[in-house]
């Protein structure tokens, strides 16, 4: 690769976020929508855990803001939620790295639930009141996907020599 | 370490960054929700990010193309044959519809309410983009230059789907009637009972609230838009009652209805421009003076029964749009006055 090392890292990270964003708005049959995992949150948690010096609150904010524009939700809604989970992940990244995979998945569940509850709460304040338990299924699906996504992203990080 | 104007500054800590960005997020939300100051910024960002939407639509397009390739043209021939038999039937029905429409306009003119004129409708393509979690939305591939406006009704071949909630440069967003933030004024087609249909966030149901146990509503009733509030025109089908639950412990009935429009992923919707935003004022005093010469020129007009007509008028006329009433002249429909009716 002719690109310099930090530049290439940045490109690889941006590419994974791009894929996550596309997956977030990829159309599926309507009934599957309640099972759609929070791809952006998962990718964000991985990079915050693996490279907290490179990916952090600012990246979370930016990814959330892009998500807000793509979804047409209030600007800042997802940005706030994603900054919060980025902050929590970076803060606890040393513990998270030590955890076995299943325990990581539980933490991911809690983080995604935090994210979804914050978004739901903001929506309630803004006037729309979605069904009370609708945040739970996407969070659980996110938890179930985490171990596989972790392996994929780790391989990407190693092969892409991202550091 | 940063160095600004000779002063050594430490890079902000994780917590500091979070607090600053959280404040920024909250201020963005306040600006966006309360004051709508960010519309142009959002429109620009949407254009900037449209490549992501294009990429997201690729698999669906590709899947459709592959399906078409393997299906061959047999289904197309079948569909063409079906459409060919269907079209004359629909056209035949339209002939009668036009006669009925004219008759209806005439009768409504006699009642002193504005005629229901056919609305302008334009087909619009949908962007193949998933809805935001917890919401029910559509992205329409038409924007400002096509004359869309916020609050515009969106329908399909079967009924009302929702309304435009945000108009961008190249694309617009619409919320469906099932969106948890949406409510539409309806009436029961059978008896004219008024109600409001609220979205729940579930993909295929709306809930009718605030009807007491004495309300005459039952399973299978069709709900049509009542035109109250002015954003939806009168008379479009909205939903069909699926279930009426009367719990004696609750003050109101628990009613679930299924939207008649196809709210799933479909390629196209119809946008309508309601033709008559101007409605006659509900108070007969002012237009009476203006309209007297017109009314007197028509001696052949049958006498309306004031006692029977008067209570009908506020029911038949949807709530007038206050903005439309001030600037525009009253509609041309002659208003027969109760006094003239009594003394011809």
Domains located in chain B, CATH noted: 113-278 (2.40.10.340)
DSSP B294-342: HHHT-TTSPPP-HHHHHHHHHHHSPPPPHHHHHHSPPPSS----HHHHH
Among the partner-chain residues A21, A80, A128, the one whose CB lies closest to the CB of B25 is A80
- Find the residue in B nearest to A138 (Cα): B133
Q: Name which residue leads in pLDDT, B342 or B213.
A: B213
- Predicted local confidence at residue B316, as pLDDT: 38
Chain A residues closer than 8 Å to B200 by CB: 131
Q: Which element (helix H / strand E) includes B163?
A: strand B160-167
Q: Do B29 and A77 touch (CB under 8 A)?
A: yes
Task: Give residue B2's pLDDT band: very low, low, confident or very high (50, 70, 90).
Answer: low
pLDDT (tens place) for every residue of chain A, 163 residues total? 455 677 888 999 999 999 999 999 888 777 787 888 999 999 999 999 999 988 999 999 999 999 998 888 888 999 999 999 999 999 999 999 999 999 999 999 999 999 999 998 898 888 776 766 778 888 999 999 999 999 999 999 998 888 7
Instruction: With a cut of 80, say whether residue B247 has pLDDT above it.
Output: yes
| pTM attached to this predicted model | 0.74
Q: What is the ipTM of this complex?
A: 0.87
Residue pLDDT, tens place only, B81-122 = 999 999 998 888 888 888 888 888 888 877 766 655 567 888
Q: For B201, which of A74, A80, A130 is closest by C-beta distance?
A: A130
Looking at CA atoms only, how far is residue B217 from chain A in angstroms? 25
Domains of chain A in sequence order: 5-159 (1.10.1760)
Q: Which value, in Å, is the radius of gyration of the alpha carbons in chain A?
A: 16
In what helix (H) or strand (E) does residue B198 lie, and over which residues does it extend? strand B194-199
What does the pLDDT look like over B264-301, one tens digit per residue?
766 788 898 886 544 433 444 434 434 444 434 444 44
Contact between B213 and B206 under an 8 Å Cβ cutoff? The reply is: no
Q: What is the DSSP letter of B3?
A: E
Residue B303 has pLDDT above 50, yes or no: no
Q: Is the CB of residue A106 less than 8 Å from the CB of residue A133?
A: no
Candidates B133, B178, B209, B256, partner chain A, best to mutate (most A CBs within 10 A): B133
């Amino acid at each position: 690769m002719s690109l310099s090392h930090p530049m290439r890292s940045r490109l690889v990270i941006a590419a994974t976020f791009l894929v996550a964003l596309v997956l977030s708005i990829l159309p599926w049959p309507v009934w599957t929508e309640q099972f759609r995992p929070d791809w952006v949150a998962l990718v964000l948690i991985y990079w915050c855990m693996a490279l907290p010096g490179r990916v952090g609150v600012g990246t979370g904010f930016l990814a959330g803001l892009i998500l807000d524009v793509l979804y047409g939700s209030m600007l800042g809604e997802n940005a706030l939620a994603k900054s919060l989970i980025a902050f929590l992940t970076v803060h606890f990244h040393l513990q998270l790295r030590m955890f076995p995979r299943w325990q990581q998945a539980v933490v991911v569940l809690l983080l995604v639930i935090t994210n979804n509850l914050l978004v739901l709460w903001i929506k309630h304040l803004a006037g729309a009141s979605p069904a009370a338990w609708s945040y739970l299924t996407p969070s659980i699906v996110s938890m179930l996907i985490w171990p596989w996504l972790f392996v994929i992203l780790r391989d990407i990080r190693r092969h892409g020599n991202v550091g | 370490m940063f160095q600004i104007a000779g002063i050594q500054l430490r890079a902000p800590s994780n917590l500091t960054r979070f607090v600053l960005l959280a404040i920024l997020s909250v201020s963005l939300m306040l600006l966006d929700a309360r004051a709508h100051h960010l519309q142009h910024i959002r429109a620009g960002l949407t254009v900037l990010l449209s490549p992501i939407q294009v990429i997201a639509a690729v698999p669906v397009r590709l899947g459709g193309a592959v399906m078409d390739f393997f299906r061959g043209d047999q289904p197309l021939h079948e569909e063409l044959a079906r459409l060919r038999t269907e079209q004359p039937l629909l056209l035949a029905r339209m002939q009668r519809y036009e006669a009925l429409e004219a008759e209806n306009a005439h009768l409504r003119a006699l009642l002193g309410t504005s005629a229901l004129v056919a609305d302008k409708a334009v087909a619009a393509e949908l962007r193949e983009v998933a809805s935001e979690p917890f919401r029910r939305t559509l992205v329409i591939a038409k924007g400002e230059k096509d004359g869309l406006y916020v609050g515009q009704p969106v329908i399909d071949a079967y009924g009302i789907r929702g309304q435009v909630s945000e108009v961008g440069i190249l694309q617009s967003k619409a919320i469906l009637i099932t969106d948890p933030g949406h409510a539409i004024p309806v009436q029961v087609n059978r008896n004219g009972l008024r109600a409001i249909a609220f979205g729940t966030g579930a993909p295929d149901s709306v809930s009718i609230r605030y009807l007491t146990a004495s309300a005459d509503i039952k399973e299978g009733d069709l709900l049509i838009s009542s035109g109250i509030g002015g954003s939806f025109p009168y008379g479009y089908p909205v939903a069909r009652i699926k279930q009426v639950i009367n719990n004696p412990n609750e003050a109101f009935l628990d009613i679930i209805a299924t939207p008649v429009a196809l709210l799933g992923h479909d390629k196209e919707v119809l946008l309508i421009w309601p033709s008559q935003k101007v409605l006659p004022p509900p108070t007969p005093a002012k237009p009476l003076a203006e309209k007297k010469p017109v009314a007197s020129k028509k001696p052949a007009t049958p006498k309306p029964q004031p006692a029977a007509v008067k209570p009908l008028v506020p029911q038949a006329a949807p709530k007038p749009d206050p903005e439309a009433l001030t600037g525009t002249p009253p509609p041309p429909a002659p208003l027969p006055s109760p006094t003239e009716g009594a003394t011809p």
